[in-house]
């Protein structure tokens, strides 16, 4: 999807259509996504749009003036030095920052055309559609099964077989099924760090979101587990919109189609991944990706 084609029609459509139209359009688009192998035409409409978005912790800015569109059924990676606001931006998308006192936002951040920071946004629905995997694995102190079934149960799924089916599917999708299938009643806290992280991915998948936010999902994992998760991301790409924060350049290059480079709370450059890594437009980006950042 060439970049220059995108903004005009989509923005036009957005500005003219009513909210419900957009909703319908997006819904249609994503429903058709699993059926067709190639990216469908409806994907021209970005799932996540950020327009001049800033977030402040008290008076200090976490991210400032971010403008970027994230497209459906792609993997977008966010890279940048530590403390540059990658997590902050990611967490803004499903409003996880609400838990932190004195947080203030400015600008526009939309998911499916709905302003996330609008008063009427239903957080439950938002978060069910925008799943998240955290940097540090955070399984609940419950059994493995209950961890995975947590999301489906929230959605009102009570039937045993259906839950079992979802749990199995999710664990298989997260490539951890073979390790835990014998003892789903075991406490999730008894798993290793890598297993816990895959469990958290499985847990996020079990909710069947459309967007998956991953905040350095592999930072606690060994290379083999990392490889598995990268494969997993590759598989999920056809059906999910994935945003991944990573410190690992190779990983970003391997898994993502598009990459965004953040620095000091600002978006420096956002483009196709090959372009960012081979021919970045900004000097800062080049310095960072070639390791000259200092």
Residues that bind another protein (CB under 8 A): 19, 23, 27, 30-31, 34, 94, 96, 99, 101, 111-112, 114-116, 118, 120-129, 131-132, 134, 136, 138-141, 150-151, 154-155, 166, 169-170, 173, 189, 200, 203-210, 235, 239-240
Q: Give the whole-angstrom CA distance, residue 157 versus residue 261.
A: 40
**How far are the Cα atoms of 2, 53, 254 from residue 60, in angstroms, in the given order?**
36, 14, 34
Q: Give the whole-angstrom CA distance, residue 294 versus residue 175.
A: 37
* Tokens coding 225: 């587990």
Question: Residue 60, SS3?
Answer: strand
Nearer to another protein, 235 or 250 (CB): 235
Nearer to ligand ATP, 206 or 268 (CB): 268
Among another protein, Mg ion, ligand ATP, none, the one that 141 touches (CB under a kind-dependent 5 to 8 A) is another protein
CA 185 to chain centre: 29
Q: Does 82 bind ligand ATP (CB under 6 A)?
A: yes
Question: Residue 218, SS3?
Answer: coil
Interface map 239-258 toward Mg ion (x if CB under 5 A): --------------------
Minimum distance from residue 150 beta carbon to ligand ATP (Å): 25
Question: Residue 50, SS3?
Answer: strand
Residue with smallest beta-carbon separation from ligand ATP: 87
- Paired sense of beta strands 266-272 and 258-263, if any: antiparallel
Q: Does 88 bind ligand ATP (CB under 6 A)?
A: yes
**How far are the Cα atoms of 145, 192, 194, 217, 258 from residue 225, in angstroms, in the given order?**
21, 11, 7, 11, 23
Among 170, 153, 46, which residue's Cα sits nearest to residue 110? 46
* Tokens coding 279: 């021919």
Bridge partner residues of 241 (DSSP) = 211
Please list every residue from 90 through 149 that binds ligand ATP, using CB under 6 A: 100
Which of 79-87, 116-124, 136-144, 169-177 is the region at the interface with Mg ion (rule: CB under 5 A)? 79-87
Q: Does 87 bind Mg ion (CB under 5 A)?
A: yes
Among Mg ion, ligand ATP, another protein, none, the one that 62 touches (CB under a kind-dependent 5 to 8 A) is ligand ATP
Nearer to ligand ATP, 29 or 85 (CB): 85
Please list every residue from 53 through 72 that binds ligand ATP, using CB under 6 A: 57, 60, 62
Residue entry with tokens 């079990």: 206
Minimum distance from residue 214 beta carbon to another protein (Å): 11
Nearer to another protein, 180 or 276 (CB): 180
Interface map 224-263 toward ligand ATP (x if CB under 6 A): ----------------------------------------
| Torsion sign, CA atoms 290, 265, 116, 271 | negative
Nearer to another protein, 163 or 253 (CB): 163
SS (H, E, C) 69-84: EECCCCEEEEECCCCC
Size, binding site for ligand ATP by CB under 6 A: 11
Return all residues near 105 (Cβ < 8 A) that are at least 6 apart: 53, 54, 55, 56, 92, 117
Among ligand ATP, another protein, Mg ion, none, the one that 83 touches (CB under a kind-dependent 5 to 8 A) is ligand ATP
* Tokens coding 168: 């199995």
What is the binding site for ligand ATP (CB under 6 A)?
57, 60, 62, 82-88, 100
């Amino acid at each position: 999807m060439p970049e220059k084609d995108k903004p005009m029609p989509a923005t036009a459509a957005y500005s003219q259509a009513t909210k419900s139209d957009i909703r319908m359009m997006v819904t249609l688009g994503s429903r058709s996504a699993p059926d067709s192998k190639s990216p469908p035409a409806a994907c021209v409409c970005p799932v996540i749009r950020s327009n001049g978005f800033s977030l402040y912790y008290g008076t200090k800015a976490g991210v400032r003036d971010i403008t970027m569109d994230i497209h459906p059924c792609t993997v977008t990676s966010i890279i940048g030095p530590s403390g540059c606001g990658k997590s902050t931006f990611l967490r803004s998308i499903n409003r996880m920052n609400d838990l932190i006192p004195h947080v203030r936002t400015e600008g526009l951040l939309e998911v499916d055309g709905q302003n996330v920071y609008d008063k009427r946004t239903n957080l439950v629905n938002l978060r069910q559609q925008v799943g998240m995997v955290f940097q540090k694995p955070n399984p609940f102190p419950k059994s493995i099964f209950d961890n995975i079934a947590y999301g489906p149960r929230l959605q009102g799924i009570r039937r045993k077989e259906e839950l079992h089916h979802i749990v199995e599917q999710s664990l298989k999708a997260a490539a951890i099924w073979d390790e835990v299938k014998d003892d789903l009643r075991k406490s999730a806290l008894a798993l290793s760090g890598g297993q816990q992280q895959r469990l958290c991915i499985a847990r996020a998948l079990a909710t069947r979101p459309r967007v998956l936010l991953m905040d350095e999902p592999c930072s606690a994992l060994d290379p083999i587990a990392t490889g598995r998760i990268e494969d997993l991301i590759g598989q999920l790409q056809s059906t999910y919109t994935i945003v991944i924060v990573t410190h690992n350049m190779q990983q970003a290059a391997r898994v993502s189609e598009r990459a965004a480079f953040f620095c000091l709370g600002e978006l420096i450059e956002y483009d196709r991944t090959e372009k960012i890594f081979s021919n970045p437009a900004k000097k800062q980006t080049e310095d960072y990706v070639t390791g000259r950042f200092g």
